[in-house]
Amino acid sequence: MSAVVILLVEDNLMDVELTLDAFAQVGLKNTVTIARTGEEALNYICGKGKFADKKNFPTPDLVLLDLKLPGISGHEVLAELKNDERTRRIPVVVLTSSHEEGDRAVCYDNGVNSYLVKPIDFGEFVKVVRAIGDYWLTLNVGPPETLR
């Protein structure tokens, strides 16, 4: 497999920029696609509408999901993904500012693969991104070829 495709589901542009900067800092050269809403994310992953072209819009190997999204929430996106047998296997890492028990409970109930809290400090954030790279992109063995 060539470069792993990462789908970053994040509404806040500044957070997006910081995340991409951190990725650059860490030296991750993966393709990072941005979905700004939950709907867009689902459409992308399921290849709906303009995303039907899987060549240009390949199914992500890792989804970094923020919970705070306009319209349908991150929880719903997670639930959808994990309930659909076509998308169930895709690793989803929730990347959120919320430390709340409630959010964590719902996510784990929905079968989230990992739950990470975004630190305010950029230095710390870079460390987290590095860890993601080390673990999910290097160490973790992903699912077999999923039905695309």
Tell me how far apart the alpha carbons of residues 125 and 89 are, in angstroms, rounded to a whole number: 27
21 belongs to the binding site for other proteins (CB under 8 A) = yes
Tell me how far apart the alpha carbons of residues 143 and 18 are, in angstroms, rounded to a whole number: 29
Instruction: Yes or no: say if 93 and 36 are a contact pair by the CB < 8 Å rule.
Output: no
* Binding test (CB under 8 A) with other proteins, winner from 1, 2, 14, 144: 14
The angle formed by the CA atoms of residues 30, 34 and 132, to the nearest 5 degrees, is: 45
Four-CA torsion 129, 130, 136, 137, nearest 10 degrees: 110
Nearer to other proteins, 71 or 111 (CB): 71
**Minimum distance between the CB of residue 108 and other proteins, rounded to whole angstroms?**
18
The pattern of x and - marking residues 107 through 146 that bind other proteins according to CB under 8 A reads -----------xxxxxx-x---------------------
97 belongs to the binding site for other proteins (CB under 8 A) = yes
Q: Binding residues for other proteins, per CB under 8 A?
A: 12, 14-15, 18, 21, 68, 97-98, 101, 118-123, 125
